[in-house]
Chains A and B, each alone.
Chain A
Amino acid sequence: MTYEFDFASVLANWPQFLEGAWMTILLSFPATVIGFVGGTLLAIGRRSDQRWLVRACGAYVEVLRNTPLLVQVFLVFFGLASLGFKVSAFAAALLTLVINVAAYTCEIMRAGMDSIHKGQIEAAECLGLTRRQVYWHVVLRPAMEKVYPALTSQFVLLMLASSITSQISVEELTAVAARVQSETFRPFEAYILVAVAYLALSLLMRLGLWVFGQIVFTRQRKLGNAK
């Protein structure tokens, strides 16, 4: 093997990589927030009394979880464009990511909410809380706390999956790597660098989400993460 590694020429493009990383964050962060809200609403819908709502949410979740993200992205970007709805690559990417992560969040939140003991809800109702108050204080908040680790993992996966949007020319990290390697003819080094960047981003994201969890879920903090 006479290949000589040349990281220098690739590293020289560090501003572009930084921009790419920023684009990845710009995609992942809003998608996480909006997707979480959407997913929670879907989960509430799946547990409602109205059968049509349960079915509709269920169908939505099944369709999105059983088709690849790449196909979803193409369908939204190219497909909608061909029907006359022209959106920017970034908008299409963000939209697809939101739609996608909402489906996964729904399942996670649903599991969390289902695990709340019926007795808790009964007790709250017998204390005179309104249905909405009961739902928020006894179902949603404890459920979020319970499934927070699973949610964290899901959101990190979302960030990693954003690499797929490079295929519709969103200038995030993976796309930058492709561009740099076409200029420097150093594909291996470029992608190694990007892999390291993603690893760093995952670590940062996990750390950030952990800190956020510590702040928001005060009970965990006080009990010292005792489950």
Chain B
Amino acid sequence: MIDGGLNSYHLQYLLFGALWTIGLSLIAFVGGGLAGGVIALCRVSPIKAVRWATVAWIQIIQGTPLLVVLFLCYFGLSIAGLELPAIVAASIAMIVYVSAYLGEIWRGCIESVPRTQWEAAECLALSRTQRMRLVVLPQAVRIATPPTVGFMVQIVKNTSLASIVGFIELVRAGQLINNSIFQPFTVYLLIAIVYFAMCYPLSVWSRKLEQRQQFGNNRGTATPSVTTA
């Protein structure tokens, strides 16, 4: 239970941190989403060089811990001579990370639109761009919604790493509070609860979306969701 060490001022500070967590998550989602869209389209491009370069980039990002990417962005910025607040480095790192993962998820969704839809559109004399825009992408977006919502959970959790480079989000706020009251169990438990409150609804929503889609498609195969810790 919360005893005398933790007061309402601390709780306000934690809330302040949580707001920054949400803020960084939104930046990561929007920025990473835009970049991810580009990556997904590059990944299915008819030009071999573009495809291969994109695959290589995705493999590199997916094979590197986010913490390392974060440090590279943080130190990379100072090498470039830019003295910017930690949120910039954190944002860049998150955007790079999110774009690689969302790009792959969306690529999978584009490719899961049945080949016959491509053919039907082709046989109606639609150009490749028209096929993508009018027939394939609308269906791909529908398929992509549940895993994208599920990935939002990963984004929120991963913003916790920004605390390591000094950005004051929820975890950092908690660490600072803990530095004055020395009750790590209480503090970190509280932080966990706040994260749970943010992430659990998203998880539930993602599952609901997935169930609704499977119902509509009359498909019974369960796809395991691969997610980071």
Contacts and interface: CB of A to CB of B under 8 A. Distances in A.
Question: Is there any pair of Cβ atoms, one from A and one from B, under 8 angstroms apart in the complex?
Answer: yes
Interface of A: 1, 3, 62-63, 65-72, 74-75, 78-83, 97, 100-101, 104, 107-108, 111-112, 114-115, 147, 150, 153-154, 156-158, 160-164, 166-167, 174, 177, 181, 187-188, 191-192, 194-195, 198-199, 202-203
A150 B192 contact: no
Contact of B226 (A66, A74, A154, A160): A154
Given A71-B195, A158-B229, A66 B200 contact: yes
B228 to A, nearest CB: 5
8 contacts: A66-B196, A74-B171, A83-B185, A101-B229, A157-B229, A177-B68, A192-B72, A198-B63
A163 to B, nearest CB: 4
Interface string B166-196: 0000010000001000111100110110011
Contact of A203 (B63, B80, B81, B196): B63
A55 to B, nearest CB: 15
Given A68-B171, A71-B195, A198-B63, A108 B68 contact: no
A202 B228 CA distance: 14
A101 B222 CA distance: 20
A78 B181 CA distance: 13
B160 A71 contact: yes
Contact residues of B: prevailing secondary structure: helix
Interface string B100-143: 00000000000000000000000000000000000000000000
B64 interface: yes
A112 B224 contact: yes
A115 B75 CA distance: 47
* Closest 5 pairs between A and B when the two form their complex, measured CB to CB: A79-B185, A78-B184, A163-B65, A66-B199, A68-B160
A156 B203 CA distance: 23
A199 B113 CA distance: 32
Interface string B3-30: 0000000000000000000000000000
Contacts of A69: 157, 229
